[in-house]
Amino acid sequence: MSHFRTSLAIRQLFDYETWTYTYLLWDEVSKEAALIDTVLEQYERDLNLVKELGLTLKYTLDTHIHADHITANGLLRDTTGAEIIIHKNAAISCADQLVTDGQKFYLGEHAIEVMHTPGHTNMDISYRIEGAVFTGDTLLVRDCGRTDFQLGDTEAMYNSLQRLFALPEDTIVFPGHDYKGFSCSTIGEEKRFNVRAGNGKTFAEFKEIMDAMKLPPPRRLAISVPGNMVCGKVDESAEAAA
């Protein structure tokens, strides 16, 4: 992805079981790195990549408490010492930092800024760097996250999308999931073409679309949320029984 003009190097990784994107970011001078939205089953893949590239994993950043997969953050902290970062509304004791809107972290001299973008849950974070934003389950390509469970809020989602749409139009959008074959987008594209909130949709129009959605609960909900409340350090025997 070297053709993207961003302040940090980016590697986009995918988990086919849960349609989840994990992102490895690093500063090419200091070799300091961060992983966004890790997946437990991809722990070895991600750790090996960090080692192969000669990076030092400084942070693991979660966009929210996930309901469809378990994080690898706890294991990665055990092996690398990386700090676990999540929004304060997650209220989990296993995190190293519970952060708020506007807070910044640095890889080398390059900032990663916290944008609190609730709606899918009350804790959703988008992580912004120069040239790109990692939007988790808030803004997806031509879509957005559901708001019908896990402290979701349709009005908060609409407001968060409007906040993201106010970013520079050439900002690359890297979503937390993909279900349609898209790897990324731009703020300008999503402002025009997002089927839920784009093309100047009012909140009333957005709410009508969201209220009409009838989605089943995530398949791994009963395992994922409890597992993520302890940063992925789950009892494997309990998981197997489930």
Residues 90-116: tens digit of each pLDDT: 999 999 999 999 999 999 999 999 999
pLDDT at 241: 40
pLDDT of residue 238 exceeding 60: no
Average pLDDT over every residue of 193-218: 95
Its pTM surpasses 0.85: yes
181 dihedral zone (left: phi>0; alpha: psi -120 to 50; beta): left
User: What is the signed CA dihedral for 193, 132, 230, 96, rounded to 10 degrees?
Assistant: -150
Taking only the tens place, the pLDDT of each residue in 156-178 is: 999 999 999 999 999 999 999 99
pLDDT one-digit tens code per residue, 31-84:
999 999 999 999 999 999 999 999 999 999 999 999 999 999 999 999 999 999
Q: How is the chain split into domains, by residue range?
A: 9-217
Q: Which residues contact 18 (CB under 8 A, 6 or more apart)?
A: 39, 68, 69, 177, 220
3 pLDDT higher than 70: no
What's the mean pLDDT in 199-212?
A: 97
Both tokens assigned to 228: 């993520």
> Quick one: pLDDT at residue 2?
39
Q: Kindly give, in sequence order, each residue whose CB lies less than 8 Å from that of residue 64, ignoring residues fewer than 6 positions away.
A: 86, 87, 90, 120, 121, 123, 124, 125, 136, 137
Q: How many CB atoms lie within 10 A of CB 200?
A: 9
CATH number of the domain at 9-217, please?
3.60.15.10
